[in-house]
Structure 1
Amino acid sequence: MSPRGVPMTDVRRQLFDAAERVLVREGPGALSGRAVTREAGCATGLLYNHFPDFDEFLAEFVLDRVRPTADRLALLPGRAGAGTVSGNLTDGATLLLEPTPLALTNLVRARPPLLHRMHTVAREEMPELHAGEAAFADYLDAEKALGRVAADTDAEAVALALVGAVHQLLLSHPVDEPDLRGRIERVVTVLIKGLATAE
């Protein structure tokens, strides 16, 4: 049933929640306007009352759903000085392997034009899509200030390498592989070898 009279933000949330459930459960190939509205339990036309087409819906959906992961990654620099450098970086990297971030990555990969549409919708740099790189770089800079990472460390380059390595793991290994975190730990260890001054 179409929730007539419900504020648009509530409709958007309902549709985005439904899209996330379909995407995580069935993958990007199952995601369609009909599948979303069926999952949401509302009339098929409701989606198009609020979005000009399905591609714009998907663009806004992805931007909305990457923000929680971006917010969690933004907390990483606050962990500087606690635990170990490798452990903190590994914890941050494994956030990218959780079901929703992983499903969103698969969606964008399955629909290459979607990234361009997201830029059009956002009309900005979309910092959420670079949250991993930014968080890892800021974290390493914070550890440099504390003397736990070598002062000449190129934090941005290490951050980019780490995000790239995680993406390669996602492309080449099943996400339910038992030792995926272990692989990430090994990558982190190699990346920061000689950089961490106190582990």
Structure 2
Amino acid sequence: MSPRGVTIPEVRQQLFDAAEQILLRGGPSGLTSRAITLEAGVAAGLLHNHFGDLDSFLAALFIDRARAANGRLRELAAHAGSGTVVDNVMATIEPLLAGNLLALGGLALARPSIVSKLGTHGEGALELDANECVIADYLEAEQRLGRIPDGADTASIALALVGAAHQLLLTRGPDAPDLRERIRRVADALLTR
């Protein structure tokens, strides 16, 4: 436990890591301010001092973890014209299949009050359709290069890819042996003709 008045470097990440561990171990029901601060080994009031309330903290956690997973998405456009379209899309979808993202999805379902806070963190605001938009932009770039047919609806393909990844993750779980292969089959069906 940290002494009162002592600054703790990286306290945000310490609290986020603790909350993620609780979430992965026991699901959303175990996420209380007290449980998080105990897991992090910090003073009980620290979470509220930094975030105001538990929902604001959980929204910030959601944004932090989603942003980390979306990091590779931002690199996708640079791959237009190289490799195969399916391989590029699969490399981008891979971070979306992590177990912690499934747990975060469960958190959003269990505590819908945090969803309304996702857009209230200024620069930290999360665009809930960011994955879909980045993939659609990439597919449009590939379309301009002639690697995707002119008539293809890239926005709908992106939505279908992200939706399929989420559906398969939710129904099969992140450790299903055929998860990646099934998503690849969906990508092949949508992107190759």
TM-score norm. by structure 1 comes to: 0.86
Residue 160 of structure 1: SS of its match in structure 2? helix
Unaligned runs of 5+ in 1: 195-199
Residue 129 of structure 2: SS of its match in structure 1? helix
User: 2-side partners of 1:74 and 1:121: how far apart?
Assistant: 20
User: 1-side partners of 2:133 and 2:161: how far apart?
Assistant: 11
Q: What residue is the counterpart of 1:177 in the other structure?
A: 176
Report the count of equivalent residues: 192
Q: What residue is the counterpart of 2:11 in the other structure?
A: 11
TM-score norm. by structure 2 comes to: 0.88
RMSD: 2.1
Q: 2:66 aligned with 1:66, yes or no?
A: yes
> Does the Cα contact within 8 Å between 1:74 and 1:131 map onto a contact in 2?
no
User: 2-side partners of 1:66 and 1:55: how far apart?
Assistant: 16
CA displacement at 1:122 relative to structure 2: 4.4
Q: What residue is the counterpart of 1:157 in the other structure?
A: 156
CA displacement at 1:27 relative to structure 2: 2.4
The 10-residue stretch of structure 1 (13-22 or 154-163) with the greater mean CA deviation from structure 2: 13-22
> Does the Cα contact within 8 Å between 2:56 and 2:117 map onto a contact in 1?
yes
User: 2-side partners of 1:124 and 1:98: how far apart?
Assistant: 21
Unaligned runs of 5+ in 2: none
5 Å matches for 1:95-106?
A: 95-106=95-106
User: 1-side partners of 2:73 and 2:27: how far apart?
Assistant: 24
CA displacement at 1:123 relative to structure 2: 8.7
User: 2-side partners of 1:25 and 1:75: how far apart?
Assistant: 32
> Does the Cα contact within 8 Å between 1:2 and 1:46 map onto a contact in 2?
no
CA displacement at 1:153 relative to structure 2: 1.9
CA displacement at 1:187 relative to structure 2: 1.0
The 10-residue stretch of structure 1 (183-192 or 117-126) with the greater mean CA deviation from structure 2: 117-126
